[in-house]
């Protein structure tokens, strides 16, 4: 029997680990490749040829631009709301203990712990009961609810690592509450706040599960995409939009990743 | 200004209250308000002749959900898929999480963490769509299997009753693959976190006492990783139960709970039935959480 050191992996284990990692990245490659294929009727692989044509065609479509504009504005408004309400929550929850803190913690986990469809159908039944017209603001309300939680999680983690003695020192040296916030708390949490905002933006831009319930007749880019999957007008254009969505969500996530890494190092 | 900040510093309760009132108002009205409306709706029923909601408390809608055979089928189908996906995610995640925590060099470990996290954050809808391309009739997977001479095996697999279908992108098997892919990072990350906490000295001791790596893994690593496995399974289970995009984009004709909720509120206009259906995953998740809690799932979170 061959003897092996206790901490040395077998070749099989190594191969399996890298195989799973490759499997996890397969869809990225597929999406990028298919945006350039010349096949417009089938999902043929390997592609018969490569072309830039579909990018031009997608660029000329006004319905895509309209959906894109709507998604970007929803994400922007939801992110601003989330940054304000999320950081307020974090500042309140980071300090001390008070009655009801546990229940608030549970409340703050719910929007991401319960499946999105429950948030969606709950908002819809509330919208119908209140006889509101679903549209821009109902989409924003749905997105902001889980975006607040994302920002809160990011900021509260950073605040917990900020020693309370720093705040006391600042006050002892004669700074008032605003000065302490401006010169001590804000610089220490700014990257976490920004990272949370970036993640919130990306999540909102890409959200479909809740949005399908709250959008009414509005069409965000994910809804446009979803409709296109069932009633395709031009398949290759859907592929191009997939790449665009991927890039628009990926950039803020990469920035958020870098921000949190530098912040924790 | 100074007087205000001194006052707030002396009375933290006022300070905390001032901070928390706006977000709590938001969560209280928008989120909790909606959840309670949903719950209330599920206790109404729809009048079969007028197709209007009758605002009188009744358990008829719930009765319809748990007694009509078609609805029970939907619940069982969703539940079996969630269980199968959870088991598969656990089986795939274990070796990779163990490798990245135990064996990889620090650089390789960082590479693995980023490599697992990036696909998790990638656009959800785009990932589902990518799988439709991969699993399509002339797509990459069938091309790959044809190239290595396994095309006939795929045909045979697709002819299997129950899991098969005309192509992978229209079969339960394909849907299963997509679910496993989508939730795999949610299993790997908590599992890796739990494995990080296993002291190396225990593994060394096990090896010193003559255990082979497989024995050490089964008798030492696995029991200690159980909380992580349980935590990950909560995600995979709950995410599968609630999803309605994946079964509608990739998959067979049978309905899933999420699709039923979406369809009942939309074309059918039966909000009470949609509401009652959406309570089913909540109940299933709560049952699962109690089971997972017993396995110590929350110690790893």
Tens of pLDDT, residues B273-282? 999 999 999 9
Please give the distance of CA B138 from its chain centroid, rounded to a whole number. Answer: 29
Q: Where do the domains of chain A lie, and which CATH numbers do they carry?
A: 56-264 (1.10.3720.10)
Beta bridge partners of B53: B46
A86: nearest CA in chain B?
A: B23
CATH number of the domain bearing residue B279: 1.10.3720.10
The verdict on a CB contact (< 8 Å) between B26 and A110 is: no
**pLDDT averaged over every residue in chain B:** 86
Instruction: With residue B29 as reference, give the H or E element that holds it.
Output: none
Residue B128 to chain A, least CA–CA distance (Å):
9
Residue A74's nearest CA partner among A194, A191, A173, A208 is A208
Residues within 8 A of B (CB atoms), A 16-45 only: 16-17, 20-21, 23-28, 30-31, 34, 42-45
The verdict on a CB contact (< 8 Å) between A85 and B126 is: no
Residue B160, domain extent: 70-299
Please give the distance of CA A71 from its chain centroid, rounded to a whole number. Answer: 13
Q: Is the peptide bond before A46 cis (omega within 30 degrees of 0)?
A: yes
Is residue B106 domain-shared with residue B11, that is, in the same domain?
A: no
What average pLDDT does range B150-159 have in this prediction? 81
Is residue B273 domain-shared with residue B189, that is, in the same domain?
A: yes
Using CA atoms in the order A146, B125, B230, A117, what is the torsion angle rounded to 10 degrees? 50
Query: Could you read off the pLDDT of A147-186 as tens digits, one per residue?
Result: 999 999 999 988 888 888 888 888 888 888 888 888 888 8
The Cα-based distances of A236 to A33, A45, A135, A194, B133 in angstroms read 11, 14, 29, 35, 12
The Cα-based distances of A84 to A93, A96, B15 in angstroms read 14, 21, 16
In a domain, B61, yes or no: no
The answer, for B78 touching chain A at a CB cutoff of 8 Å, is: no
Is residue B27 domain-shared with residue B80, that is, in the same domain?
A: no
Q: pLDDT value at position A5?
A: 55
Q: Is the pLDDT of residue A110 over 90?
A: no
The Cα-based distances of A58 to A35, A53, A61, A243 in angstroms read 11, 9, 5, 11
The answer, for B19 touching chain A at a CB cutoff of 8 Å, is: yes
Taking 3-state DSSP, the helix, strand and coil percentages for chain B, each rounded to the nearest 5, stand at 80, 0, 20
B279: nearest CA in chain A?
A: A118
User: A263: which 2 tokens?
Assistant: 């912040």
* Whole-number Å distance between alpha carbons of B284 and B275: 15
Is residue B13 domain-shared with residue B117, that is, in the same domain?
A: no
Is residue B164 domain-shared with residue B277, that is, in the same domain?
A: yes
* Whole-number Å distance between alpha carbons of B166 and A181: 62
The verdict on a CB contact (< 8 Å) between A121 and B274 is: yes
Is residue B18 domain-shared with residue B121, that is, in the same domain?
A: no
Q: Which of A75, A126, A170, A236 to mutate to test the interface with B (most CBs of B within 10 A)?
A: A126
A229: nearest CA in chain B?
A: B249
Locate all alpha helices (DSSP H) within A114-135, ordered by sequence.
116-129
Is residue B27 domain-shared with residue B159, that is, in the same domain?
A: no
The verdict on a CB contact (< 8 Å) between B34 and A126 is: yes
Q: Is the pLDDT of residue B256 over 90?
A: yes
* Whole-number Å distance between alpha carbons of B197 and A143: 35
What average pLDDT does range B271-291 have in this prediction? 90
Q: Which string of b and e fits B245-259 if b means at least 16 CB within 10 Å? A: bbbbbbbbeebbbbb
Query: Could you read off the pLDDT of B104-134 as tens digits, one per residue?
Result: 888 888 889 888 988 888 889 999 999 988 8
Query: Residue holding tokens 């309605």?
Result: B244
In a domain, B56, yes or no: no
Is residue B228 domain-shared with residue B81, that is, in the same domain?
A: yes
For chain B, what is the domain count? 2
The answer, for A11 touching chain B at a CB cutoff of 8 Å, is: no
The answer, for B1 touching chain A at a CB cutoff of 8 Å, is: yes
Between chain A and chain B, how many beta carbons pairs sit less than 8 Å apart? 254
What average pLDDT does range B165-192 have in this prediction? 91
In a domain, B203, yes or no: yes
Is residue B8 domain-shared with residue B81, that is, in the same domain?
A: no
The verdict on a CB contact (< 8 Å) between B92 and A111 is: no
Q: Is the pLDDT of residue A11 over 70?
A: yes
Query: Could you read off the pLDDT of B20-48 as tens digits, one per residue?
Result: 899 999 998 889 999 999 999 889 888 77
In a domain, B43, yes or no: no
Instruction: With residue B45 as reference, give the H or E element that holds it.
Output: strand B45-46
- Cβ neighbours of A151 in B, within 8 Å: none
Q: Is the pLDDT of residue B54 over 50?
A: yes
Those residues with Cβ within 8 angstroms of residue A92's Cβ, 6 or more apart along the chain or in another chain: B16, B17, B19, B20, B23
The verdict on a CB contact (< 8 Å) between B15 and A28 is: no
Query: Could you tell me the pTM of the whole model?
Result: 0.87
In a domain, B63, yes or no: no
What is the C-alpha R_g of chain A? 23
The answer, for B41 touching chain A at a CB cutoff of 8 Å, is: yes
Query: Residue holding tokens 């279908």?
Result: B165
Residue B69 to chain A, least CA–CA distance (Å):
23
Residue A7 confidence class, pLDDT cut points 50, 70, 90:
low
Residue B300 confidence class, pLDDT cut points 50, 70, 90:
very low
In a domain, B198, yes or no: yes
CB-closest option in A8, A31, A91 to B126: A31
CB-closest option in A93, A125, A253 to B38: A125
Tell me if residue B90 falls in helix, strand or coil. Answer: helix
Q: Is the pLDDT of residue A1 over 60?
A: no
**pLDDT averaged over every residue in chain A:** 86
The verdict on a CB contact (< 8 Å) between B265 and A31 is: no
The verdict on a CB contact (< 8 Å) between A98 and B13 is: yes
Is residue B104 domain-shared with residue B231, that is, in the same domain?
A: yes
Instruction: Judge whether A72 and A201 are in contact, CB under 8 Å.
Output: no
ipTM value: 0.84
In a domain, B220, yes or no: yes
- Cβ neighbours of A114 in B, within 8 Å: 238, 242, 282, 285
What average pLDDT does range A133-137 have in this prediction? 91
In a domain, B55, yes or no: no
Is residue B92 domain-shared with residue B186, that is, in the same domain?
A: yes
Is residue B128 domain-shared with residue B26, that is, in the same domain?
A: no
């Amino acid at each position: 029997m061959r003897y092996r050191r206790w901490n040395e992996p077998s070749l099989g284990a190594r191969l399996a680990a890298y195989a799973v990692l490759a499997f996890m990245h397969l869809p990225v490659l597929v999406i990028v490749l298919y945006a350039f294929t010349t096949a417009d009727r089938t999902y043929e692989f390997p592609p018969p040829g490569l072309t830039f044509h579909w990018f031009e065609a997608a660029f000329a479509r006004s319905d895509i631009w309209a959906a894109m504009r709507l998604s970007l504005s929803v994400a922007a408004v939801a992110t601003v709301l989330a940054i304000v309400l999320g950081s307020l929550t974090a500042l309140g929850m980071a300090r001390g203990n008070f009655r009801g803190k546990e229940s608030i913690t549970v409340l703050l986990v719910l929007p991401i712990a319960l499946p999105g469809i429950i948030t969606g159908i709950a908002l819809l039944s509330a919208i119908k009961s209140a006889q509101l017209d679903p549209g821009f603001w109902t989409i924003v309300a749905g997105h902001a609810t889980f975006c607040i939680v994302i920002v809160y999680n990011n900021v509260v983690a950073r605040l917990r690592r900020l020693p309370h003695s720093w705040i006391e020192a600042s006050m002892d040296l004669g700074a008032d509450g605003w000065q302490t916030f401006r010169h001590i708390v804000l610089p220490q949490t700014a990257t976490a706040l920004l990272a949370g905002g970036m993640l919130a933006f990306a999540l909102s831009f890409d959200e479909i599960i809740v949005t399908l319930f709250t959008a009414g007749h509005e069409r965000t880019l994910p809804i446009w995409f979803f409709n296109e999957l069932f009633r395709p007008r031009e398949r290759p254009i859907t592929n191009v939009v997939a790449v665009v969505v991927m890039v628009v969500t990926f950039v803020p996530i990469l920035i958020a990743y870098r921000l949190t890494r530098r912040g924790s190092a | 200004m100074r007087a205000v900040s001194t006052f707030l510093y002396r009375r933290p309760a006022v300070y905390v209250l001032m901070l928390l009132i706006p977000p709590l108002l938001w969560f209280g009205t928008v989120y909790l308000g909606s959840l309670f409306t949903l719950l209330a709706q599920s206790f109404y029923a729809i009048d079969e002749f007028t197709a209007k909601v009758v605002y009188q408390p009744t358990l008829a809608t719930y009765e319809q959900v748990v007694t009509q055979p078609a609805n029970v089928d939907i619940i069982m189908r969703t539940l079996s898929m969630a269980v199968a996906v959870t088991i598969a995610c656990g089986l795939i995640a274990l070796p990779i999480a163990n490798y990245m925590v135990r064996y990889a060099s620090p650089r390789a470990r960082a590479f693995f963490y980023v490599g697992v996290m990036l696909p998790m954050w990638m656009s959800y809808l785009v990932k589902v769509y990518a799988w439709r391309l991969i699993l399509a009739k002339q797509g990459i997977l069938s091309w790959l299997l044809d190239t290595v001479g396994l095309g006939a095996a795929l045909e045979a697999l697709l002819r299997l009753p129950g899991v098969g279908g005309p192509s992978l992108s229209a079969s339960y098997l394909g849907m299963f693959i997509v679910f496993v892919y989508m939730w795999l990072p949610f299993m790997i990350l908590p599992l890796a976190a739990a494995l990080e906490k296993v002291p190396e000295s225990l593994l060394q001791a096990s090896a010193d006492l003559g255990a082979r790596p497989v024995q050490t893994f089964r008798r030492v690593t696995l029991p200690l990783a159980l909380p992580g496995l349980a935590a990950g399974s909560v995600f995979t289970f709950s995410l599968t139960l609630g999803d309605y995009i994946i079964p509608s984009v990739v998959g067979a004709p049978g309905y899933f709970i999420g699709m039923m909720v979406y369809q009942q509120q939309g074309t059918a206009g039966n909000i009470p039935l949609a509401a009652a259906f959406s309570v089913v995953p909540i109940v299933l998740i709560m049952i699962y959480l109690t089971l997972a809690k017993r396995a110590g799932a929350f110690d790893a979170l």
